């Protein structure tokens, strides 16, 4: 929205080749930057274990603001990208997840429905593959097809059996979290802006 507002301002002023210098300034003064700074260490603490993560997140999100300190004076830096942290499926214990009870836990498609996600059925898929063979030959064979599990909207599913197995992409369900683009172990999935601006439309927000 900030970028769109900066682009609109430039177009109204007749600046068709503008570098949108108003956008970085708007971001610096926005609630978005403040929120990102306050939660900058959240995921990194949890990589250090649940106990220390719970303690330090409590300090950063509750105690420091009570003391008038909005942002933690320290930053936990990453040493590895997300996609580099996946381990081969054969080296990990298999997890049997319980079925949703529809009271506290719900299936993914029910949650997608609540997001009011909408994409035109005939628009080109905004979830693209650099190499269509990799999801089966590498991701499924080595990592157990993680894209079918880490996607919160059930966009990716492996269908067929044996040599007929293929990755089906249900792009119309996408909630634009970009997890697939970030977490794909082979960096083969590329999220691009959907045609027509489709996506989630949370009515309660």
More confident residue, 118 or 186: 186
Residue 196 lies in a domain: yes
Average pLDDT estimate for 51-73: 93
Q: Is 180's pLDDT higher than 90?
A: yes
Average pLDDT estimate for 114-126: 84
pTM, 2 dp: 0.71
Q: Is 158's pLDDT higher than 90?
A: yes
Average pLDDT estimate for 116-123: 82
Residue 42 lies in a domain: no
Residue 68 lies in a domain: no
Q: Which helix (H) or strand (E) holds 184?
A: none
The DSSP symbol for 59 reads I
Q: Residue 153 class from Cβ within 10 Å (0-12 exposed, 13-18 middle, 19+ buried)?
A: buried
The DSSP symbol for 60 reads I
Output phi, psi for 160, to 5 deg: 90, 175
Residue 205 — very low, low, confident or very high, per pLDDT cuts 50/70/90? low
Q: For the chain, give the percent of residues with pLDDT over 70.
A: 99
Average pLDDT estimate for 182-201: 88
Domain count, the chain: 1
**Could you give the CA distance from residue 56 to residue 174 in angstroms, rounded to a whole number?**
33
Residue 172 lies in a domain: yes
Residue 33 lies in a domain: no
Residue 72 lies in a domain: no
Residue 108 lies in a domain: yes
Q: For the chain, give the percent of residues with pLDDT over 90.
A: 60
Residue 20 lies in a domain: no
Q: What is the CATH number of the domain that holds 167?
A: 3.30.70.20
Q: Which domain holds residue 146?
A: 82-205
């Amino acid at each position: 929205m900030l970028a769109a507002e900066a682009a609109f301002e430039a177009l109204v002023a007749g600046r068709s080749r503008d570098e949108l210098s108003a956008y970085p300034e708007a971001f610096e003064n926005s609630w978005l930057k403040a929120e990102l700074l306050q939660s900058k260490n959240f995921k990194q603490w949890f990589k250090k274990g649940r106990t220390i993560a719970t303690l330090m997140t409590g300090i950063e999100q509750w105690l420091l603001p009570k003391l008038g300190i909005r942002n933690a004076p320290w930053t936990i830096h990453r040493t590895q990208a997300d996609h580099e942290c996946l381990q081969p499926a054969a080296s990990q214990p298999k997890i049997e997840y319980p079925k949703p009870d529809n009271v506290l836990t719900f299936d993914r498609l029910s949650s997608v429905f609540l997001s009011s996600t909408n994409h035109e059925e005939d628009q080109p898929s905004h979830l693209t593959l650099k190499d269509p063979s990799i999801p089966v030959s590498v991701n499924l064979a080595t990592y157990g097809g993680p894209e079918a599990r880490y996607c919160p909207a059930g966009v990716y599913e492996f269908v067929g059996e044996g040599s007929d197995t293929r990755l089906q992409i249900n792009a119309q369900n996408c909630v634009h979290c970009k997890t697939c683009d970030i977490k794909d172990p082979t960096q083969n999935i590329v999220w691009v802006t959907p045609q027509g601006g489709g996506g989630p439309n949370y009515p309660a927000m």
